[in-house]
Amino acid sequence: MSQQASRDAYWKANLRVMAICLAIWFFVSFGLGILLVDVLDRFQLFGYPLGFWFAQQGSIYTFLILIFYYAWYMNRLDREHDVHEQ
Amino acid sequence: MELQTLTYVVVGATFALYIGIAIWSRAHSTGDFYVAGKGVHPIANGMATAADWMSAASFISMAGLIAFLGYDGTVYLMGWTGGYVLLALLLAPYLRKYGKFTVPSFIGDRYYSQAARIVAVICLIFISFTYVAGQMRGVGIVFSRFLEVDILTGLLVGMSIVFIYAVLGGMKGITYTQVAQYCVLIFAYTVPAIFISIQLTGNAVPQLGLGSTVAGESTWLLQKLDLVMLDLGFGAYTDGSKAMIDVFCITLALMVGTAGLPHVIVRFFTVPRVVDARRSAGWALLFIAVLYTTAPAVGAMAKLNLLETIWPGGPEAEAMTYDERPDWFRTWENTGLLQFEDRNGDGLIQYYNDANPDYAPIADARGWQGNELHVDRDIIVLANPEIANLPNWVIALVAAGGIAAALSTAAGLLLVISSSISHDLVKSVFAPRLSDKGELLTGRIAAAVAICIAGYLGYNPPGFVAQVVAFAFGLAAASLFPAIIMGIFSTRINREGAIAGMLTGLLFTFGYILWFKGVFFEPIMADVPENWLFGISPEGIGVVGMLLNFAVAFTVSHLTAPPPAHIRELIEDIRVPRGAAEAHAH
């Protein structure tokens, strides 16, 4: 594979994982925390109404997991496509 | 030791620490001054970013805001954390790879245009000064409240401290003082929160305590809070009252604005490698999340505590008599944060929602003639240690934490202002032959001047300080964020498109906010939901500004010539991590 083709493949793979992460980011914060909050509030997570928990706690934990996952995934991808820093 | 003395000792000790760090980490080159020589460890950078990010408002006001907004407070919790996902995925690694010092220099280079650079500098200065005026005000208020000096003295002390470590140490000095400031502020925030959580629920982790039952009872804490609120004519704590589209837009504007704020972005220029920039955003959010997930617990618990103090037998029984009010009530009455007015002359403190027409018959039947207690939202954090009967050193620590939060943010903002002036205006536009030493000196002078202007704005706040959030975040979301994103992810957006887009976003958002908020003149239209475009408040309008920016940039770019070949090479280059360290050595 030429260097250019490898870099194109790297960029495509990056955009794909980015799109997945951003979809989760959007779904959890705007979807569960705002748009679906009234539906989810019918369920309880211990003393929290579920929608309220996603809005004030769960979304923030999800953001954290997403960032660390993306960093881990990209470090692997960098090596696979030989574009990592030496 | 007496509280006053103890506060002076604790605050004085933290100041000595900051100055010591500043002397130890003096800047020797422009690289040190702008980006700390790109040698900051990602975890240290994460802490510094957290301190940079969390302002006096986050520390003092946010829990109180949430306490009074309930579910609607979500816009701040998600809005001020979700932006880090955008930063980590869309901006930080690429800007680090690009490897220069400032946001305007990226925009100027990517869009091969001095005009674009200057537009970016204008956006940056406008965003940062509105934001810093609020911070300096916060410094003055914290000083005057805890150390009982007047606001001007407080401001001058704060300015001198920032002056020492920002002018001497530049980014390097700021980074390591911010690490220390983070430790001070997070300790000061979580200790009272843990105690209040143990008292109310028996659970030492506030995040879990908020989801627990009230100690010794079988009702959930939030359920109990909802019931008490409803009994007093308020809306349930866990329900919102804002329109969904507005909650949506404000949250998005704050998130995108976060990712577009220059003093946050520039922190990711300071780490050694692209890998570190990605991780560092995660560390930053982790350190921020410690405070941001604790804040809702502090808000709800302090609110319940307050309501139970005022209604010791529950809302059905009689309210507390004014003569038997606790000591902390007296203390905070003196500062004006609690105000009691005995409207029906019965000596009892009736605190309820007198703006709810459905509740009026109940209030009438009980002989109430309006709400009698005014509670300032800042009291939720400030009085928390006293309400929870914590020792004096905790109260002194809260003072030091509030000051740390305000100083760290102010310093970060002042630095991006000074570096964009010395690097992007003086060096790039007016005096390209300036030596590194000359540029460093210019940066220091610019920082000193910026501190004086900020101090002045803090002492004579223009009318719009309260709207700082709407301004700074909306403008960042509508101007800088789209320009940077398109610069990385599109090879087609050109100079003409970017400039037209930035100006459209900036002017639209600025105009909309002025239309409803006035600032320099009377607002043109009342700031009520009926008048808003699509029901979006000025706080959330940055989202529309951002969409306009994207649309205009896209259209104009496709009608004009594509960017030259060397720009496409630049874009290809920033998209892969390899070579970032070489740029560093260079």
Domain boundaries, chain B: 29-304+387-585
Convert the pLDDT of each residue in B266-308 to its tens digit.
Answer: 888 888 888 888 999 999 999 999 999 999 999 999 889 888 8
Cβ neighbours of A30 in B, within 8 Å: 248, 251-252
Q: What pLDDT is stored for residue B367 in this prediction?
A: 85
DSSP codes joined into one string, B443-470:
HHHHHHHHHHHHHHHHHS--GGGGGHHH
Cβ neighbours of B99 in A, within 8 Å: none
Residue B46 contacts by C-beta under 8 Å, 6 or more apart in sequence?
B280, B281, B282, B283, B284, B285, B286, B287
Q: What pLDDT is stored for residue B482 in this prediction?
A: 95
Handedness of CA B6, B11, B14, B19 (dihedral sign): negative
Q: Do B85 and A48 touch (CB under 8 A)?
A: no
For residue B43, the tally of other CB atoms under 10 A from its CB is: 17
| Angle between helix B151-201 and B114-147 (nearest 10) | 70
Q: What pLDDT is stored for residue A20 in this prediction?
A: 96
**Domain extent listing, chain A:** 3-80
d(CA B350, CA B345): 11
Average pLDDT, chain A: 90
ipTM of the complex: 0.95
Higher pLDDT: B464 or A2? It is A2
Q: Do B212 and A46 touch (CB under 8 A)?
A: yes
Contact map slice: B 32-51 vs A, CB within 8 A: none
Residue B47 contacts by C-beta under 8 Å, 6 or more apart in sequence?
B178, B179, B182, B183, B283, B284, B287
Q: Do A74 and B278 touch (CB under 8 A)?
A: yes
Q: What pLDDT is stored for residue B586 in this prediction?
A: 40
DSSP-assigned letter for residue B376: -
Q: Do B285 and A63 touch (CB under 8 A)?
A: yes
Q: Do B222 and A86 touch (CB under 8 A)?
A: no
Q: Do B248 and A46 touch (CB under 8 A)?
A: no
Residue with tokens 């920016």, as numbered in its chain: B549
* A49, A52, A70 ranked by CB distance to B278: nearest: A70
Minimal Cα distance from A24: which residue of B? B85
Paired strand residues for B374: B339
Would you give per-residue pLDDT tens digits along chain B (586 residues)? 677 888 889 988 998 998 888 888 877 788 887 777 788 888 999 999 999 898 887 888 888 888 888 898 888 999 999 999 999 999 999 999 888 888 898 999 999 998 999 999 988 988 888 788 777 777 777 777 777 777 788 888 888 888 887 887 788 888 888 999 999 999 989 998 998 899 888 888 999 988 888 888 888 888 889 888 888 888 888 887 787 888 888 899 999 999 988 888 988 888 888 888 899 999 999 999 999 999 999 999 988 988 888 888 888 888 888 888 888 888 788 777 788 888 888 888 899 988 888 888 888 888 888 889 888 887 888 887 887 778 888 888 888 888 888 888 888 888 888 888 888 888 777 877 878 788 888 888 888 888 888 888 777 766 544 456 567 888 899 999 999 999 999 999 999 999 999 999 999 988 888 787 766 566 777 777 777 777 777 788 889 999 999 999 999 999 998 999 999 889 988 998 887 665 444 4
Counting Cβ atoms within 10 Å, is residue B366 exposed (0-12), middle (13-18) or buried (19+)?
middle
**The CATH classification of domain B29-304+387-585, taken from the options 1.20.1730.10, 1.10.1070.11, 1.10.287.610, 3.40.50.261:** 1.20.1730.10
Handedness of CA B424, B428, B431, B433 (dihedral sign): positive
Q: What pLDDT is stored for residue B57 in this prediction?
A: 78
Q: Which residues of A touch B (CB under 8 A)?
A: 7, 10-11, 14, 18, 21-22, 25, 29-30, 33-35, 37, 41, 45-49, 52-53, 55-57, 59-61, 63-64, 66-68, 70-71, 74-75, 78, 83-86
d(CA B362, CA B167): 61
Give the minimum alpha-carbon distance from B45 to chain A in angstroms, rounded to a whole number: 15
Q: What does the pLDDT average to over A21-37?
A: 92
Q: Long-range contacts for B320-324 (Cβ within 8 Å, ≥24 apart)?
A: B320/B348, B320/B349, B321/B347, B321/B348, B321/B349, B322/B347, B322/B348, B322/B349, B323/B347
Cβ neighbours of B259 in A, within 8 Å: none
B132: nearest Cα among B475, B541, B472: B472
Give the minimum alpha-carbon distance from B405 to chain A in angstroms, rounded to a whole number: 21
